[in-house]
Chain A
Amino acid sequence: MPILILADHDNASLKPATAHAVTAATKLGGDVHILVAGRNAAPAAEQAAKLAGVAKVLLADDAAYEHALAEPVAALLVSLASGYSHVLAAATSAGKNVLPRVAALLDVAMISDITAVVAADTFERPIYAGNAVATVQSTDPVKVITVRTTAFEAAPATGSATVESIAAVADPALSGFISAELSKSERPELTSARIVISGGRGMQSGDNFHLLEGIADKLGAAVGASRAAVDAGFVPNDYQVGQTGKIVAPDLYVAVGISGAIQHLAGMKDSKVIVAINKDEEAPIFQVADYGLVADLFKALPELQQAI
């Protein structure tokens, strides 16, 4: 039976996370279909059709799907699910919102945030902030799964699947979109950036984040933050890296003024190279850092910006 992936997109374009979910899906054995539910979402559907390994894209274009509200999108997925062995989405805020709703409506267990496919019914997933890895097996007729994007490479855009329009289903009309306040940035997106530089409580203020931004711009890096920095109001919530924030695994992660609580480590410890800059040499972040620099960040950051 084929496998269905719910695309994460903003109608105009497909989010990179979906390409990672495709790679997980190709390990399950079966044709891979992508569902793009949106409004005027043909551009996103065309991008989905280019992902290698995708056999077909289903495009449900309707006003009800414009803002990816969980209630109508879940209803649509449920109407399609009986033809599929697996329903997948990337473990983004959109995927995490919709898929449990789908699983409950199908009366099946859900498997969140998988990091490996052991077999078509068996998966690895991190628990306890990544301090343990559970291998779980599902006997449900449809497996409903979110995919941790950092654990799977992105499928390349070398394919050419067909795009098939499908009809919308009845909107349960339980919710409505009011507004969105999205961070605008010229920098790469946190979860797909090759380099991430994050600041913590040690940054002392939101203004001081410009010290990180100068370096980020020189390296083409994204800027992230620890929970402490977000809670203190230094930066917006979408900067947060950690167990319940964003999970990142860039080639280079630079943690500045971050002590390294396990909840933060859970969000970045799979990075290829980790650098920690902290004036406290006992900070736990040094236990996971490949390169540690014990220094005052207000002195080290300008030097770093000069030196790169």
Chain B
Amino acid sequence: MKILCAVKRVVDYNVKIRVKTDQSGVETSNVKFSMNPFDEIAVEEAVRLKEAGTATEIVVVSVGPTQAQETLRTALAMGADRAILVQTDVTTEPLAVAKVLKALVGKEAPGLVILGKQAIDDDCNQTGQMLAALLGWGQGTFASKVAPAGDAVAVTREIDGGLEVVSLKLPAVVTADLRLNEPRYASLPNIMKAKKKPLETVTPDSLGVDVTPRLKTVKVAEPAKRQAGIKVPDVATLVDKLKTEARVI
């Protein structure tokens, strides 16, 4: 079974982001970028499925600027076999990415697509569900366990009340949650090897997909700041403050 993974280049999760003064967006120059953490988990799962003999080939895709090649190289170093960059400088929305991925699924015919459940920049949590919809496939979102067997895959999902297991007909789309696995660090030899793995660049146009944003971003602002509070010396003072000042207990 071939697996297709999608990865996004995002501002690193450790970066304290700043809103641009003209409110047009978030400052991204001179900021560290890395692979969206949930996508790392998705790639790791694909690599594990290949190591277990379930998957035969892993194709990793990113939709983004030229620099997303680095993100793809990271995935190749983790164990993906080849990469496709769908190069665009447009800030793509999930629907556009889902359409691009659908076009690539048409060419690659994978048995399973694994994505991160959410990108930590736009926090949309949409692309996997949208891709499944466009393909007419089943979806296993927020996965904490993925168990393919024959022509189906059992997916354990993290839901509000606990866990749920669903069975999906293959091919299907799975989105990775935090506890699906712990992604490996790529070793130096694997990073070197990844440089020689195939990386193809295409454009949304060549796939016949219009990635023009549908939504207009009117502005991006700083959230309301919390007032700094006080330190209390002991538990008795804390309880007193909560009872008489904050009146919450």
Name A residues whose Cβ lies closer than 8 Å to a Cβ of B.
67, 69-71, 74, 92-94, 96-105, 107-113, 118, 122, 125-140, 172-183, 191, 195, 219, 227, 230-231, 236-238, 243-244, 246, 251-252, 262-263, 269, 272-275, 281, 286-295, 300, 303-304, 307-308
Residues in B neighbouring A252, C-beta threshold 8 A:
242, 246, 248-249
In the complex, which residues 1-60 of chain B have their Cβ closer than 8 Å to any Cβ of chain A? 11, 13, 16-17, 19, 26, 38
Given that A238-B158, A243-B120, A272-B248 are contacting pairs, would A288 and B226 also be in contact in the complex, using a CB cutoff of 8 Å? Answer: yes
Nearest CB of chain B from residue A262's CB, rounded to whole Å: 7
Question: What separation, in Å, do the CA atoms of A274 and B234 have in the docked complex?
Answer: 16
Contact B166 A176 (CB under 8 A): yes
Question: What separation, in Å, do the CA atoms of A294 and B233 have in the docked complex?
Answer: 8
Contact B129 A290 (CB under 8 A): no
Residues in A neighbouring B98, C-beta threshold 8 A:
104
Given that A101-B139, A112-B125 are contacting pairs, would A294 and B223 also be in contact in the complex, using a CB cutoff of 8 Å? Answer: no
Contact B120 A129 (CB under 8 A): yes
Nearest CB of chain B from residue A135's CB, rounded to whole Å: 4
Given that A97-B142, A136-B218, A289-B229 are contacting pairs, would A180 and B163 also be in contact in the complex, using a CB cutoff of 8 Å? Answer: yes
Question: What separation, in Å, do the CA atoms of A123 and B1 have in the docked complex?
Answer: 42
Contact A134 B11 (CB under 8 A): no
Question: What separation, in Å, do the CA atoms of A251 and B248 have in the docked complex?
Answer: 7
Nearest CB of chain A from residue B219's CB, rounded to whole Å: 5
Contact A134 B126 (CB under 8 A): no
Question: What separation, in Å, do the CA atoms of A122 and B218 have in the docked complex?
Answer: 9
Question: What separation, in Å, do the CA atoms of A70 and B128 have in the docked complex?
Answer: 12
Contact B236 A174 (CB under 8 A): no
Given that A237-B144, A275-B242 are contacting pairs, would A291 and B230 also be in contact in the complex, using a CB cutoff of 8 Å? Answer: yes
Does B107 touch A at the CB level, under 8 Å?
Answer: no
Nearest CB of chain B from residue A120's CB, rounded to whole Å: 14
Contact A307 B236 (CB under 8 A): yes
Contact A109 B93 (CB under 8 A): yes
Residues in B neighbouring A263, C-beta threshold 8 A:
13
Given that A101-B139, A136-B218, A304-B235 are contacting pairs, would A109 and B248 also be in contact in the complex, using a CB cutoff of 8 Å? Answer: no
Does B188 touch A at the CB level, under 8 Å?
Answer: no
Contact B215 A243 (CB under 8 A): no
Q: Which size class do B's interface residues fall under?
A: 35 or more
Residues in A neighbouring B167, C-beta threshold 8 A:
175-178
In the complex, which residues 147-170 of chain B have their Cβ closer than 8 Å to any Cβ of chain A? 154, 157-169
Nearest CB of chain B from residue A223's CB, rounded to whole Å: 14
B213-249 to A contact mask, C-beta < 8 Å, 1/0? 1111111111100111111101110110110001011
Residues in B neighbouring A295, C-beta threshold 8 A:
234-235
Given that A195-B249, A244-B178 are contacting pairs, would A178 and B166 also be in contact in the complex, using a CB cutoff of 8 Å? Answer: yes
- Nearest-CB residue, chain B, relative to A239: B162
Nearest CB of chain B from residue A210's CB, rounded to whole Å: 18
Residues in A neighbouring B118, C-beta threshold 8 A:
244
- Residue of B131, B157, B216, B223 ringed by the most chain A CB atoms within 10 A: B223
Nearest CB of chain B from residue A237's CB, rounded to whole Å: 5
A-B contact pairs, 18 of them (CB 8 A): A96-B141, A98-B129, A100-B126, A101-B129, A104-B133, A110-B126, A113-B123, A126-B123, A127-B122, A137-B218, A175-B140, A175-B169, A178-B154, A178-B167, A237-B163, A273-B248, A281-B231, A288-B229
Does B130 touch A at the CB level, under 8 Å?
Answer: yes
Given that A70-B129, A178-B166 are contacting pairs, would A138 and B214 also be in contact in the complex, using a CB cutoff of 8 Å? Answer: yes
Given that A195-B248, A273-B242, A293-B238 are contacting pairs, would A126 and B223 also be in contact in the complex, using a CB cutoff of 8 Å? Answer: yes
Contact A127 B165 (CB under 8 A): no
